[in-house]
Structure formats: structure tokens, C-alpha cells
Amino acid sequence: MTALIGPDDIPYLPRGVRLQGDRVRGIRVLQAPERAMQLDQIGEAILSELDGARSLDRIVRDLAARYNAPVEQIGGDVRDFLTGLIERRMVFVRDSA
């Protein structure tokens, strides 16, 4: 299957998708059209990085540095997580160009 995101692509939350606190359950959720997804700490950490400016590659390196973890491992986790959301149209990507 073709990759839905490459290292130079910039992932972002499109209009209608936002991170929000769930004050009743005490967690963070991703709110999207007709879908609210409960996030664990890893999911929240990844999505908090989507600032619409940095590329996937840059985000992975920043996360690896912050959590003192291997770039290859973080890269795989982030790509898989974002690919699932891109398939659901909850994350969009654009070229860095």
C-alpha cells in the first residue's frame, strides 16, 4: 500500500478536528466530525506536535530528543498513528514546498 505521509510532509489538524480536554473522564480527546477519539498519553503527545509548520521528520526528531528514545522507533510509532488518522480524514498533510 502506498504511504499516506512522507518525511517531508507536514501533518496538521484540519478544520473541524481539534484536541480537547474531557473534564468528566479526565482525559484528552480528539474531536472530529461525528467521532470523538479518546487519547492515551502517546497519542496526545504526538498530536500536540502538529503545529502546521513542522514536517513529519522534524516532529519525530523533536519527540525522540524530548523522550530520549531512538528516532527509528519513534518514527515508526508516529507514522503508524498518523496514517490511521489520515485514513479516517482526521489528519491532513501538505507538502513542505
Partner 1 sequence: MKDQQHQPRDLDGNPVTPGLPMAMLAEVTHRCPLACPYCSNPVDLVRASKEISADDWGRVFRQAADLGVLQVHISGGEPGARKDLAQIVGHARDAGLYVNLITSGIGITRDRLIELDRAGVDHVQLSLQGIRPDMADRISGHPGSWDKKMAFSDWVTEIGFPLTINAVVHRQNMERLPDMIDLAERLGARRIEVATVQFHGWADRNRGALMPTREQAEFARQVVNAGRIRLRGRMVIDYVPADHHAIYPKACMGGWGSTGLNVGPDGTVLPCHAAQTIDWMRFENVQERSLSEIWHLSDSFNAFRGTAWMPEPCRGCDRKTVDFGGCRCQAMALAGDARATDPVCSKSPLHAGVVARAEEDAAAITTDFVYRRMSKGG
Q: Closest separation between CB of residue 56 and partner 1, Å? A: 15
* Residue placing its CB nearer to partner 1 in the complex, 19 or 42: 19
Q: Closest separation between CB of residue 67 and partner 1, Å? A: 28
Q: Closest separation between CB of residue 35 and partner 1, Å? A: 8
Q: Which residues bind partner 1 (CB under 8 A)?
A: 1, 4, 14-17, 20, 22-25, 29, 31-36, 86-89
Dist. CA 22–CA 27, nearest whole Å: 5
Residue type, 4: L
* Residue placing its CB nearer to partner 1 in the complex, 21 or 70: 21
- Nearest-Å Rg of the Cα atoms of the chain is 13
Q: Which residues contact 7 (CB under 8 A, 6 or more apart)?
A: 55, 56, 57
* Residue placing its CB nearer to partner 1 in the complex, 64 or 83: 83
Question: Helix axis angle, 71-87 relative to 56-67, nearest 10°?
Answer: 130
